[in-house]
Amino acid sequence: MAVTLVNPNGLPKPEGYRQMSIATGSKLVFLAGQVARDADGRRVGEGDLAAQVEQSYLNIGIALAEIGASFDDVSKLTIYVVDWTVDKTPLLGEGIARAAAKLGVDPVKPTTLLGISALAEPDLLVEVEAIAVID
């Protein structure tokens, strides 16, 4: 695997993400933000943040599998959540956990979470962008 996840000494040790990733692979993969749409473009989880997070993570896994990679190769995530408030944290975690169980991976990555006012389509609640490193 080309990515090692680290929580450096002297920084907080968060449970839901890692502070840093060390990438040693030779190819960088920049994946466009993934949303709650299935392969046919149908909405998944309308109004359900956990379901939309799950589908977004699964879409990342699907895209990476296409090039012989996996979610384990992800070195950084950016999560955009519409109208973010801290009380949405359990729903975010639920969606991530369900996707991780289906993908069979540890979803804990260096992550930036941004609360935003809207996404490209009004029914979208979350978009997840990934950077991966592969050999």
DSSP notation for 16-43: SS-SEEEE--SEEEEEEEE-SB-TT--B
Three-class DSSP category at 63: helix
Residue 70 domain boundaries = 3-134
- Quote the pLDDT of residue 1: 61
In angstroms, the CA 77 to CA 31 distance is: 10
Confirm if 95 and 103 have CB atoms less than 8 A apart: no
In the chain, what's the furthest Cα-to-Cα distance?
46
What are residue 75's phi and psi, to 5 degrees?
Answer: -105, -15
38-64 confidence digits (pLDDT tens): 999 999 999 999 999 999 999 999 999
Total domains in the chain come to 1
Q: What is the CATH number of the domain that holds 85?
A: 3.30.1330.40
The closest of 26, 94, 104 to 61, measured between CA atoms, is: 104
- Quote the pLDDT of residue 44: 96
- Quote the pLDDT of residue 85: 97
- Quote the pLDDT of residue 6: 78
Confirm if 89 and 42 have CB atoms less than 8 A apart: no
pTM of the model: 0.86
Intervals of the chain under pLDDT 50: none
